[in-house]
Amino acid sequence: MWNFKTLLRSIVISSLFFINGGCSTYEEHTKMITKKLSYEDLYLMERKQRELADKLIKENQNEDIIKEVKDGAVKIRFNLDFMKDHPEYDLFEIELPITTYIVEGTTIEFLSDEGVLKRVRSMEKGWEEYKE
């Protein structure tokens, strides 16, 4: 049985990392989205992004785009490291940049940077603004 968190996780992952028909050659768009994520959620997104890079390599896609996808996966690791270093928090609200390329009719969508950590949640204090 699907619970809300599992369903949301599936929607986030499938909406962030897909390849399907697009409309024109080399269009690029970047937008910011805010997501509440656990370590496991972000890890799955980072893993899917590495898998996307591997798929693009096998398809002989544009090398610059492949580099951007790989670099984005590396930058996501910064948040994963922070999450691992702070086990007192169970959820993190992060503003993430999503870049979409449409290359020869194919849409490629991925996280292009580590984003900005906005809030953290602990079981004791609930949600609080993150301050560096």
Q: How confident is the model at residue 13 (pLDDT cuts 50, 70, 90)?
A: very low
Ordered alpha helix ranges (H), 19-85:
39-58, 63-85
Angle formed at CA 59 by CA 54 and CA 63, multiple of 5 degrees: 75
pLDDT in tens, 35-91: 999 999 999 999 999 999 999 999 988 899 999 999 999 999 999 999 999 999 999
Q: What integer pLDDT is reported at residue 9 of this predicted model?
A: 45
Q: What integer pLDDT is reported at residue 17 of this predicted model?
A: 43
Q: How confident is the model at residue 132 (pLDDT cuts 50, 70, 90)?
A: confident
Average pLDDT over residues 105-117: 91
User: Residue 110 — φ and ψ, nearest 5°?
Assistant: -160, 165
Contacts of 55 by beta carbon, 8 Å cutoff, 6+ apart: 19
Q: How confident is the model at residue 25 (pLDDT cuts 50, 70, 90)?
A: low
* Domain locations along the chain: 4-129
Q: What integer pLDDT is reported at residue 10 of this predicted model?
A: 43
